[in-house]
Amino acid sequence: MPASIDVLIEDDRWNTVKLAPLCDRAFGIVFADQGISGKGYEVSVMACDDARIAELNAEFRDKPTPTNVLSWPAHELAPLNAGEAPASPPNVTSNPMDAELGDIAISYDTCLREAEAGQITFEDHLTHLLIHSCLHLLGYDHETDVDAARMEGLETKLLETLGIADPY
């Protein structure tokens, strides 16, 4: 297991999905690519519905609409300049208090709608969103064109490694 993953199921439909193993797989491929040993790190994943994620989106982003996934990094790793690589997360062995990488919320409704619209499996789309959100926890973003291209290219490469087609 690349990290300690705490999964909170708020919508019973998620019980039909093997979310913890998919998190393990997605986060593991990200950590391996970034040269990070995930051991000792903690990530919390809340599996919810559109109503709950819309509340969170309104509260934290001032956007009162559903979205597919939200991420709250525990550390400020984003680079100062667009296009640069994020900083590495703190070393857990040096300070166990730095173990928390962040929190993720993901909506079943939006994930399912997007998978159906893209004619891809729910699990493949979910894996993409988990990789995407894990990259956010590690300081990646898509606020500028250069950062979006960097993040999308990395997502595409990681998904290809898992045998999942380019979502872009």
pLDDT digits (tens, 9 = 90+) for 30-69: 999 998 876 788 999 999 999 999 999 999 999 999 999 9
Q: Which residue has the higher pLDDT, 109 or 97?
A: 109
**Number of residues assigned to the chain:** 168
Please state, in angstroms and rounded to a whole number, the distance separating the CA atoms of residues 146 and 52. Answer: 32
The pLDDT value given to residue 38 = 64
* CB distance 82 to 23 below 8 Å: no
The pLDDT value given to residue 2 = 62
What does the mean pLDDT of the chain come to?
A: 93
The pLDDT value given to residue 92 = 74
* CB distance 38 to 3 below 8 Å: yes
- The pLDDT of 89-117, averaged and rounded, is 89
The pLDDT value given to residue 168 = 87
pTM of the entire predicted model: 0.94
Domain 4-161 sits in CATH at 3.40.390.30
Q: What are phi and psi of 9, to 5 degrees?
A: -95, 115
pLDDT band of residue 106 (cuts 50, 70, 90) is: very high
Environment class of residue 83 by beta-carbon count within 10 Å: exposed (0-12), middle (13-18) or buried (19+)? Answer: exposed
Domain ranges of the chain: 4-161
pLDDT higher than threshold 90 for residue 150: yes
